Every structure is written in structure tokens, then in C-alpha cells.
Amino acid sequence: MAPKQSNLVLLHVTVFIFGFTAILGKLIETPSDKLVLWRMAIAAVSIGIFAYAAGEIKKSLRTNAVKYSLIGLVIAAHWITFFEAIKVSNVSVTLACMSAATLFTSVIEPIVFRRRIHAGEVALGIAVIGGLVLIFSFETEYAVGITYALISALLASVFNVLNGAFIKNDNPIRISLVEMMAGTAGIAAWMLLSGKMDAEILSMSPLDWFWIAVLGTVCTAFAFVASIKVMEVLTPFTVSLTINLEPVYGIVLAFFIFGESERMTGGFYVGTTILIAALFANAAMKSRGMRRKEQAKT
């Protein structure tokens, strides 16, 4: 198989794994904060072993540690609200609302990179809001889950934009390692202060331990490293476009695994289609912008 084809297959496998993360969130009965604590701890160990074995860490982890640690805390909060949304609603609602990250990013990115907001981004924002209104209108019983998912989407857009700025000047694997370590420490400190850090922290069913191990190694460490590797061969447009399939994979998987509990109203699917269409339109718009910049340089 040619390098481009093999990397494209790897990319789709990675996106499928990202979608499966939501499935695990429903399968794992452990509370969200404890779940994320162990997810980040296992991911930190896994990424650390890979990074040092592959010689990816070439400078001290203390460099920019404060910045990356703060992002790690945001990631921890994002994952906790993400899994909490799944637990109080379902996978389909959570993944659909996570698409709102496109709307939040269209506002946050211009602020961070000090550029004006483009008319296309405003149009996409309006489309996302329309899709969310439809979902809220038809799935009122999931209001709490939708709220958690939207908070999670906002936090996701914050750390993605900030990581996008930092990755230009540093090794993404080193950044991720620091973030996972900081997130682990942050959740542990919060659980300690709230009285949740006790003997029960190790008390989970064997099945929960198994799924959390899969979550930390396959769905976090492996998926992260794989998503970086494919960027060496595939174009950013191909990568971003394919990643937008995550909610599609996740919603379809959830329907086949959990059945009736994931069956939604027609209005929900119309709203979700609008949200996913906005994701693809956003990827296409960014691709055109990148091509224009490259043409301007030549």
C-alpha cells in the first residue's frame, strides 16, 4: 500500500477511535472525575514511554511548563464535562453538541491570533446556532446533558486554539505529555480538597479498569501520536475534513451498540446534519485560506 493510502487508512482508524471514546464514556460506570483522572494518568505514562523511547523529548519538560499545565487543566475540565454529558444524556446528544466547538473557535481564534472575523465564519456560526436550537427544541429532556456538552465544546475550542499557537514552536508530543501530567495532578488536587481522594479511588470493577486502560492507551496516547504521524504525509485539509467524521462514527456506533436509548427525534437529526455540514464547510473554508496564503508567497 502506498504511503498516502496507508496514512489515510490510519487517519480513519484514528477518527473511529476518537468516536469510540464516547462509547466508552457510556460503558464505564465510574464517576467522570475519577474516570478522567485515570485516563490522563495512563495517557501520561504511555506518551512518556513512547516519547523517551523514540527520542522525542529533546529539552526539559520545565520549558513553558506553566503555559502547558494551564492547558492541561482545561483539557481535564473538558473531558470531565464531556463524560458527564454522556452520563446524564447519551452519546448522540453529546457528540452532536460538541460540534458547537466550531462556533466557539470562530470567535476565540481571531482573538488569540489577532485577526478579524471573516464573514464565512459568521455564517457558519449562525448555522451552528440554528442546529443547536433545533436540538434543544426537540430534545428538552436532555437539557442538562446539552449544557454539559456545550461547556465541554467551549473548553475544547480553547485548548485547541492555544495548542495550535504553541505547537508551531514546540514538539507536540512534549506539549501533550506536560498537559497530561498537569491534568492528572490538577484532578488529584481537586479530589483531595473535595474529600474524594480516598481508598475508593482504586475501587472500580475489573471491566471499568479494562475500559479505562483502553481509553488511556488506545483512545488517548495512540490516537494522539497517530494523528500527528499522518500529518507528515496527508494535507491539513484531508486531516481536518476526516476528523469531522468523528460525530458521525460515534453516533452510528452508539445506535448499533446501545439501540433504542440512542434513537432520537427527526428534529435532532436535522439539527445534527446542520452542525456536521458546518464542520465540513469550516474545513473547506480553512483549506481555501491556506491555499491563498501559499499562492501569495509564490
Could you read off the pLDDT of 206-250 as tens digits, one per residue?
A: 999 999 999 999 999 898 888 877 877 776 656 766 777 888 888
Closest CA to 249 of 80, 95, 86: 95
65's grid cell:
511548563
Predicted local distance difference test score (pLDDT) of residue 32: 93
Residue 30: predicted pLDDT: 92
Q: What is the pLDDT of residue 46?
A: 93
Closest CA to 169 of 75, 69, 64: 64
Which pLDDT value is given to residue 293? 62
Tally of domains in the chain? 1
Please, which contacts does 164-169 make with residues 24 or more away whose CB atoms are closer than 8 Å?
A: 164/109, 165/112, 165/113, 166/64, 166/67, 166/68, 166/71
pTM for the predicted model, two decimal places: 0.86
Range of the domain at 286: 3-297
User: Which residues, given as ranges, of the chain have pLDDT below 50?
Assistant: none
Q: Estimate the crossing angle of helix 101-113 against helix 143-166, to 10 degrees.
A: 30
